[in-house]
């Protein structure tokens, strides 16, 4: 019930526990004796439904009120709702011109997570109206649902609203990089693949605290470190605060201007760059791979053979 594999394509994940249950209808099967104006309903979520557990799992329990036309309910201001004897905060009363009276308009779900009791298998919902009337006419229904991934969506929103790592900051970092060694750096190759997903970057990100040039995919990073107690940079392994992860303007500009088939670029000492085509990539020797030595030997041997053949012709 509580284990969910998240993907930004499908969150938030919504699971109904109770769906369109009659609100103002007595339920004689729950064993509760209702007082006048009360309607009592039992809600089963399981044994591990404490506020701390649900927050850790990024689960919000929501209550939704609808009328018989599947529209948001309009209840009288005198109506109260209790969850485990705790009164819920309901919408403020407002004037309804259509009904010529004040109403509570339930446009938004009510978060009841903090009112749940972890030591109970069953949670108690009580809907109360002093005179037993909740609205002018018609039936009312309620739905209780689990909403997974809201915190993850909030992290995504925060990522895209933080000030990015500017192009000027990137070029400053790049200049430090090219001038840090004894040898003159004319250009360097950099991958456009995420070290986590091994796929093409969709939104290039970095920690503002790190000094390396390479980036990782911000969305993959959020999924990877979700619920982790320690957050580390996937490139250098440095422990970083989540708030330090920002979009990289330079690399995202690169991504916007090259085709999806490009997975490698060359950055020159002056900060300009060019994409490396698939053909050019196939001719490059990756000095970090296990086969690099044999590949290099093969290329050198081919060059020597061609040179020898050319000398024989001369």
Query: Mind listing the pLDDT tens digit for each residue in 2-29?
Result: 455 556 777 788 888 889 998 877 665 5
Give the pLDDT of residue 166: 96
User: What are residue 66's DSSP bridge partners?
Assistant: 72, 141
For residues 164 and 68, which has the higher predicted lDDT (pLDDT)? 164
Strand order from edge to edge, sheet including 74-75: 74-75, 101-105, 93-96
User: Quick check: 66 and 140 in contact, CB under 8 A?
Assistant: yes
Q: Residue 218: which domain range?
A: 152-276
CATH code, domain with 58: 2.60.120.780
Q: What is the pLDDT of residue 1?
A: 44
Please give the pLDDT value at position 57: 75
Q: pLDDT band for position 300 (50/70/90)?
A: very low
Which tops the pLDDT comparison, 35 or 308? 35
Domain boundary among 89, 119, 148: 148
Does one domain contain both 139 and 233? no
pLDDT at 75 over 60: yes
Indicate the burial class of 75 (C-beta count within 10 angstroms; 0-12, 13-18, 19 or more). Answer: buried
Q: What does the alpha-carbon distance between residue 70 and residue 140 come to, in Å, rounded to a whole number?
A: 9
- The pTM (predicted TM-score) of the whole model is 0.64
User: Who wins on pLDDT, 95 or 297?
Assistant: 95
Predicted confidence at residue 286, as pLDDT, reads 40
Q: Which of 13-17, 164-168, 307-311 has the lowest mean pLDDT?
A: 307-311
**227/282: higher pLDDT:** 227
Six-digit token pair at 271? Answer: 């900060």
Q: So what's the pLDDT on residue 32? A: 66
Residue range 165-186: average pLDDT? 87
Classify residue 309: in a domain, yes or no. no
The DSSP annotation for 122-182 comes to EEEEEEE-TTS--SSSS-EEEEEEEEE-HHHHHHHHHHHHSPPB-HHHHHHHHHHHHTSSS
Whether residue 196 sits in one domain with residue 129: no
Position 241 confidence tier, pLDDT thresholds 50, 70, 90: very high
Residue 260 phi, psi dihedral angles, 5° rounding? -70, -15
pLDDT band per the 50, 70, 90 thresholds, residue 67: confident
CATH of the domain at 230: 3.30.40.10
Question: For the residues 164-169, what does the mean pLDDT come to?
Answer: 96
Of residues 304 and 247, more confidently modeled: 247
Indicate whether 1 belongs to any domain: no
pLDDT, tens only, 194-217:
999 899 999 999 999 999 999 999
Whether residue 48 has pLDDT greater than 80: no
Considering the domain architecture, whether residues 262 and 199 belong to the same structural domain is answered as yes
The per-residue pLDDT for 221 is 93
Which residue from 247, 228, 93, 41 is spatially nearest to 152, judged by alpha carbons? 228
Contact predicate 149/13, CB 8 Å: yes
For residues 40 and 126, give the distance between their C-alpha atoms in angstroms, rounded to a whole number. 5
Q: Name the token pair of 284.
A: 């490059």
Do residues 60 and 84 share a domain?
yes
> Is there a domain that residue 33 lies in?
no
Distances (CA, A) of 251 to 43, 244, 256: 50, 17, 9
What's the average model confidence in pLDDT over 251-278?
90
pLDDT at 71: 87
Q: Domains in the chain: how many in total?
A: 2
Query: Do 130 and 233 sit in the same domain of this protein?
Result: no
State which H helix or E strand residue 281 sits in. helix 278-282
Instruction: Please state the rounded mean pLDDT for residues 28-44.
Output: 75
């Amino acid at each position: 019930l509580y284990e969910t594999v998240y993907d930004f394509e499908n969150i938030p994940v919504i699971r109904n526990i109770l769906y369109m249950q009659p609100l103002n209808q007595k339920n004689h099967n729950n064993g509760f004796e209702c007082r006048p104006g009360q309607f009592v309903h039992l809600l089963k979520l399981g044994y591990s439904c404490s506020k701390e557990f649900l927050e850790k799992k990024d689960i919000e329990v929501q209550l939704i009120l609808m009328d018989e036309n599947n529209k948001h309910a309009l209840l009288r201001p005198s109506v109260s709702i209790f969850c485990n004897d705790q009164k819920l905060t309901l919408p403020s009363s407002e004037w309804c011109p259509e009904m010529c009276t004040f109403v509570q308009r339930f446009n938004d779900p009510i978060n009841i997570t903090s009112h749940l009791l972890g030591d109970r298998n069953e949670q108690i919902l009580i809907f109360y109206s002093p005179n037993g009337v909740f609205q002018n006419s018609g039936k009312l229904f309620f739905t209780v649902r689990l909403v997974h991934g809201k915190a993850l969506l909030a992290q995504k929103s925060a990522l895209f609203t933080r000030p990015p790592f500017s192009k000027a900051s990137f070029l400053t970092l790049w200049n430090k990089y090219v001038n840090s060694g004894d040898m003159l750096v004319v250009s360097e190759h950099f991958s456009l693949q995420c070290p986590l997903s091994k796929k093409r970057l969709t939104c290039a990100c970095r920690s503002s605290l790190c000094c390396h040039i390479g980036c990782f995919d911000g969305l993959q990073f959020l999924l990877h470190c979700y619920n982790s107690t320690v957050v580390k940079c996937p490139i250098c392994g440095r422990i970083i605060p989540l708030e330090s992860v920002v979009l990289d303007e330079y690399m995202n500009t690169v991504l916007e201007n090259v085709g999806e088939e490009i997975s490698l670029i060359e950055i020159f000492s002056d900060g300009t760059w060019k994409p490396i085509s698939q053909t050019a990539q196939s001719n490059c020797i990756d000095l970090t791979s296990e086969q690099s030595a044999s590949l290099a030997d093969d290329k050198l041997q081919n060059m020597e053979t061609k040179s020898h053949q050319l000398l024989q012709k001369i």
